[in-house]
Amino acid sequence: MKRLKKKKFARLYAPLEEELVAMARWAAKTGARIVVLFEGRDTAGKGGAIKAVAGPLNPRQCRVVALPKPSETERTQWYFQRYIAHLPAAGEIVLFDRSWYNRAGVEKVMGYCTPEQTQAFLEQVPAFEELLVKDGILLFKYWLTTDQAEQEKRLAERLEDPLKRWKLSPVDLAAREKYDAYTAAREAMLKASHSKQAPWTLVDFNDQRRGRLTLIRDLLDRLPDTHVEPEALELQPLEREPAQESFAVLGPIAPYEGKEKRGNS
**Per-residue pLDDT tens over the stretch 150-168:** 999 999 999 899 988 888 8
Q: Residue 262 pLDDT > 60, yes or no? A: no
169/1 Cα distance (integer angstroms):
32
Confidence category of residue 246, pLDDT binned at 50, 70, 90 = confident
Taking CA atoms, 211 is separated from 1, 143, 149, in Å, by 13, 11, 17
CA 63 remoteness from chain centre: 9
CA 256 remoteness from chain centre: 37
pLDDT of 259: 61
Q: Residue 241 pLDDT > 90, yes or no? A: no
Q: Residue 265 pLDDT > 60, yes or no? A: no
Per-residue pLDDT of 165-198, as tens digits, reads 888 888 888 888 899 999 999 999 999 999 999 9
Would you say 50 and 64 are in contact if contact means Cβ atoms under 8 Å apart?
yes
- Please give the CATH architecture assigned to the domain spanning 6-221: 3-Layer(aba) Sandwich (3.40)
The Cβ of residue 96 has, within 10 Å, a number of other Cβ atoms equal to 23
User: Which of the two residues, 262 and 70, has the higher pLDDT score?
Assistant: 70
Calculate mean pLDDT across residues 73-84: 96
pLDDT of 213: 98
8/183 Cα distance (integer angstroms):
32
Confidence category of residue 247, pLDDT binned at 50, 70, 90 = confident
pLDDT of 256: 78
Per-residue pLDDT of 101-145, as tens digits, reads 999 999 999 999 999 999 999 999 999 999 999 999 999 999 999
Per-residue pLDDT of 1-33, as tens digits, reads 789 999 999 999 999 999 999 999 999 999 999
Per-residue pLDDT of 62-76, as tens digits, reads 999 999 999 999 999
AA identity, residue 255: P
Per-residue pLDDT of 201-212, as tens digits, reads 999 999 999 999
Q: Residue 81 pLDDT > 80, yes or no? A: yes
What residues have CB less than 8 Å from 96, skipping those under 6 apart?
A: 35, 36, 37, 38, 65, 66, 83, 86
79/121 Cα distance (integer angstroms):
8
Q: Which of 76, 104, 255 has the alpha carbon at shortest distance from 183?
A: 104
Q: Going edge to edge, which strands form the sheet with 200-204?
A: 62-65, 93-97, 33-40, 137-145, 200-204
